[in-house]
A and B are shown apart, each in its own frame.
Chain A
């Protein structure tokens, strides 16, 4: 280790010699148009350890990971592998040095089998594949790290957790010594996370190095040997020691100030039924997406819908919003039947909808804030922008949107500000006063400050007597905000519990399809 002088001073270096530095990055700079994504970042990972990159969205974690695996070339700085300087011109070059990335969004061919996916991209394959031999080899690699998987299974049939396993097996099969796991838990249910962590331990025990990328404090503390915190492209601190770390301290390093994320459940009166869903079923191309769903949301109540992505959440929201016609069943908003009525009529009886896709569905990226406010309103034959302008300015001020004014283009807003524009429009009512607010993943991808604001806005709306249906894959969010929690699994509500007494383990089990008890 001749290059310790390059490393950040507060980094703890046990010069015990027990483990040598497997890969290190020195003064990495990476610039994108308008952003310095990495600003002289130093990082290193030793053999047999889990070193976590912690930071908010946009802090530069994924950029650094992309540099480490050869996907990006740094503008300045260099990498060292086992003490030798290396230059990675592509991910393939990274792989030749034993560095592999498991992407957040899997890069698998769904129609291929597991082993076909694993060998995809390998060079030196014979013209005629010996499938049996390959299957055996794939299975051997998988089992040695406790990742049991059927090499002949078609990837399209696998669950998300299993697909992730395929990605990891693929990296190991290709000879990876250093695995970069980019937000691996984002798509997993709690039990799958546990399983993943077991695999990680098996890999580190075998001498592999893991670079774990995350913004979830709890799991970071659980899994990491060391943590490097990034903020605005810079390293703001190193912390070492498994389990000894204080999450508050990490949060402060990550955000730069103390934060309070657990929004308080306000005490308030719950009123009459606003949203009534009766026996709602939806099939798309003869595949059942929603099955016999019935529930109500009352005025002043927030109902949370938890579930792993792809269990019908989006379709449920779209159906309530009038964008999809259900196969059977009904949707009522404030006493009016809005099934099959279309989005405009649903809004006329008080619907507001914040979809998961902010830019592209909720907002039109190339349009100004002003024009985006008009999207769900009644526009006259000649669009009257003059009379809406003062309101736009007022909303920008009221919702603390960082913008140059009503003419600021939506695509130039940060994620948090875009979400605020969307909430401002939906909460302020368009065709009529908002009575029901359907929000999907309202804080996904936002920085911590914006998350605070968005949750406060939702709470305020509830206190103001609006009925809120919160659909989110962020289980913590659902549990901390909702008065009532529903769990959606394969298009059915499999679990229902009051928010205050909701148990993480029970809800987690229901999300994984293990609901023992029926609905209460």
Chain B
């Protein structure tokens, strides 16, 4: 039997302006509708659940401050991913670089002691975290630029090693990073001068503004500087870069190092902010991987990372609170996050292609060919 129609994907020459706005919006609604089906099937009220999620993610003091606090980390890991992705360098090891940032930041916070003023100490801790993150990606960056070795594999595998490293420095008795005063394995607190105060009763730290400034600064670098110009040339046409005498190898290494540093910075921000020590549960949270999602939602546009970072954080905070404020299982929240993502990315097809259904009129070829 023949299907009497087929779906034709026709590439658009130009995406209409209204679509780049309508498609993401429609994607979110489609995801919410999809989620509603699940909520109904499992006996929860979709409207009630969504209202709770929105309130706990954005529309309450605790909700919005928690969201911004989480977005501090996710904006950093998001630009870490997007900055590399825009040059077709797929650093998916942001997670591991974040762990190293935690270790590097904690090392500085502990080793330097309580001698320096906070105004110097905190930047030093952040810098050490960033350097540690950059160091973690150095080998993948180097072999990628020289030998073309896939950075996807190398950065991903290094993440598992980084996770083991976190466990090692916390669970090994006598470790520098382990709190010597408790028998229960936990991280040693950094010096007081390496810790920031949160705003009022919230869990939001001033590092949020550092993340905003860094996002803005990198946007400027890509748009306005020679370095950004090179990145744009190489990402679009490597042969044009070669033609113009642009050193693609060196730029590749630098872009990857910066990407690693940004994920490391995200880790160090946790040290000077909420954690104050290496918290081994970090390896279950997936902040680095979430950065990939944030970058994908923003379509690697550095200008949009702040928006997508905050939106995604709100979704996550709201979804996680569902279980606390209502009896909705946390998995519903996780499922909704996944659905929104999937729909948002799937919506891309509508932006890039003109999709229409055509009838296959085969009245004339009914006669079977010999």
Q: Do residues A344 and B245 form an inter-chain contact, with CB atoms below 8 A? A: yes
Please measure, in the bound complex, the distance between the C-alpha atom of A371 and the C-alpha atom of B14, giving whole angstroms. 21
Q: Do residues B243 and A371 form an inter-chain contact, with CB atoms below 8 A? A: no
Please measure, in the bound complex, the distance between the C-alpha atom of A383 and the C-alpha atom of B226, giving whole angstroms. 5
Q: Does A68 contact B (CB under 8 A)?
A: no
Q: Does B349 contact A (CB under 8 A)?
A: no
Q: Do residues A364 and B232 form an inter-chain contact, with CB atoms below 8 A? A: yes
Q: Does B198 contact A (CB under 8 A)?
A: no
Contacts of A323 in B (CB 8 A): 242-243
Q: Do residues A383 and B243 form an inter-chain contact, with CB atoms below 8 A? A: no
Please measure, in the bound complex, the distance between the C-alpha atom of A366 and the C-alpha atom of B233, giving whole angstroms. 9
Q: Do residues B245 and A364 form an inter-chain contact, with CB atoms below 8 A? A: no
Q: Does A43 contact B (CB under 8 A)?
A: no
Q: Do residues A89 and B239 form an inter-chain contact, with CB atoms below 8 A? A: no
Q: Does B13 contact A (CB under 8 A)?
A: yes
Q: Do residues A360 and B240 form an inter-chain contact, with CB atoms below 8 A? A: yes
Chain B residues in contact with chain A, CB under 8 A? 10-14, 224-226, 228-229, 232-233, 236-237, 239-240, 242-245, 354, 360-365, 369
| Pairs of residues from A and B, 7 with the lowest C-beta to C-beta distance, nearest first | A33-B13, A343-B245, A344-B245, A361-B239, A34-B13, A366-B236, A360-B237
Chain A residues in contact with chain B, CB under 8 A? 32-34, 84-87, 89, 93, 96, 321-323, 342-344, 347, 353, 355, 357, 359-367, 371, 374-376, 379-383
Query: 23 A-B contacts, Cβ less than 8 Å apart?
Result: A32-B13, A33-B13, A86-B364, A86-B365, A87-B362, A87-B363, A87-B364, A89-B365, A321-B243, A322-B245, A361-B239, A361-B240, A361-B242, A364-B232, A364-B236, A364-B240, A366-B236, A367-B232, A375-B240, A375-B243, A380-B226, A383-B224, A383-B229
Q: Do residues B243 and A355 form an inter-chain contact, with CB atoms below 8 A? A: yes
Q: Do residues B244 and A376 form an inter-chain contact, with CB atoms below 8 A? A: yes
Please measure, in the bound complex, the distance between the C-alpha atom of A196 and the C-alpha atom of B102, giving whole angstroms. 71
Please measure, in the bound complex, the distance between the C-alpha atom of A381 and the C-alpha atom of B230, giving whole angstroms. 11
Q: Do residues B243 and A362 form an inter-chain contact, with CB atoms below 8 A? A: yes
Measured CB to CB, the closest approach of chain A to B205, in angstroms, equals 32
Please measure, in the bound complex, the distance between the C-alpha atom of A371 and the C-alpha atom of B240, giving whole angstroms. 13
Measured CB to CB, the closest approach of chain A to B309, in angstroms, equals 25
Please measure, in the bound complex, the distance between the C-alpha atom of A343 and the C-alpha atom of B224, giving whole angstroms. 24
Please measure, in the bound complex, the distance between the C-alpha atom of A366 and the C-alpha atom of B13, giving whole angstroms. 13
Q: Do residues B365 and A87 form an inter-chain contact, with CB atoms below 8 A? A: yes
* Given A33-B10, A33-B354, A34-B14: A361 touches B243 (CB 8 Å cut-off): yes
Q: Do residues A379 and B245 form an inter-chain contact, with CB atoms below 8 A? A: no
Q: Do residues A379 and B229 form an inter-chain contact, with CB atoms below 8 A? A: yes
Q: Do residues A382 and B225 form an inter-chain contact, with CB atoms below 8 A? A: yes
Please measure, in the bound complex, the distance between the C-alpha atom of A364 and the C-alpha atom of B237, giving whole angstroms. 6
Q: Do residues A343 and B244 form an inter-chain contact, with CB atoms below 8 A? A: yes
Measured CB to CB, the closest approach of chain B to A285, in angstroms, equals 17
Please measure, in the bound complex, the distance between the C-alpha atom of A364 and the C-alpha atom of B233, giving whole angstroms. 6
Closest to B367 in A: A84
Closest to B232 in A: A367
Contacts of A33 in B (CB 8 A): 10-14, 354
Measured CB to CB, the closest approach of chain A to B221, in angstroms, equals 9
Main secondary structure of the interface of A (DSSP, over half): loop
Contacts of B229 in A (CB 8 A): 371, 374, 379, 383
Contacts of A381 in B (CB 8 A): 225-226
Q: Which of B233, B239, B240 has the most CB of A within 10 A?
A: B240
* Given A33-B354, A375-B233, A376-B244: A360 touches B239 (CB 8 Å cut-off): yes
Measured CB to CB, the closest approach of chain A to B85, in angstroms, equals 15
Contacts of A347 in B (CB 8 A): 245
Select A85's contact among B224, B239, B364, beta carbons within 8 Å.
B364
Please measure, in the bound complex, the distance between the C-alpha atom of A321 and the C-alpha atom of B244, giving whole angstroms. 10
Closest to A73 in B: B358
Contacts of B237 in A (CB 8 A): 359-361, 364-365
Measured CB to CB, the closest approach of chain B to A410, in angstroms, equals 10
Contacts of A321 in B (CB 8 A): 243
Closest to B227 in A: A381
Please measure, in the bound complex, the distance between the C-alpha atom of A84 and the C-alpha atom of B224, giving whole angstroms. 63
* Given A363-B240, A364-B232: A342 touches B226 (CB 8 Å cut-off): no
Q: Do residues A382 and B11 form an inter-chain contact, with CB atoms below 8 A? A: no
Contacts of B224 in A (CB 8 A): 382-383
Please measure, in the bound complex, the distance between the C-alpha atom of A223 and the C-alpha atom of B343, giving whole angstroms. 57
Please measure, in the bound complex, the distance between the C-alpha atom of A367 and the C-alpha atom of B237, giving whole angstroms. 10
Contacts of A382 in B (CB 8 A): 224-226
Contacts of A322 in B (CB 8 A): 245
Please measure, in the bound complex, the distance between the C-alpha atom of A514 and the C-alpha atom of B82, giving whole angstroms. 56
Select A89's contact among B10, B12, B360, B363, beta carbons within 8 Å.
B360
Q: Do residues A87 and B361 form an inter-chain contact, with CB atoms below 8 A? A: yes
Please measure, in the bound complex, the distance between the C-alpha atom of A376 and the C-alpha atom of B240, giving whole angstroms. 10
Contacts of A34 in B (CB 8 A): 13-14
Contacts of B11 in A (CB 8 A): 33
Please measure, in the bound complex, the distance between the C-alpha atom of A352 and the C-alpha atom of B79, giving whole angstroms. 38
Contacts of A362 in B (CB 8 A): 240, 243
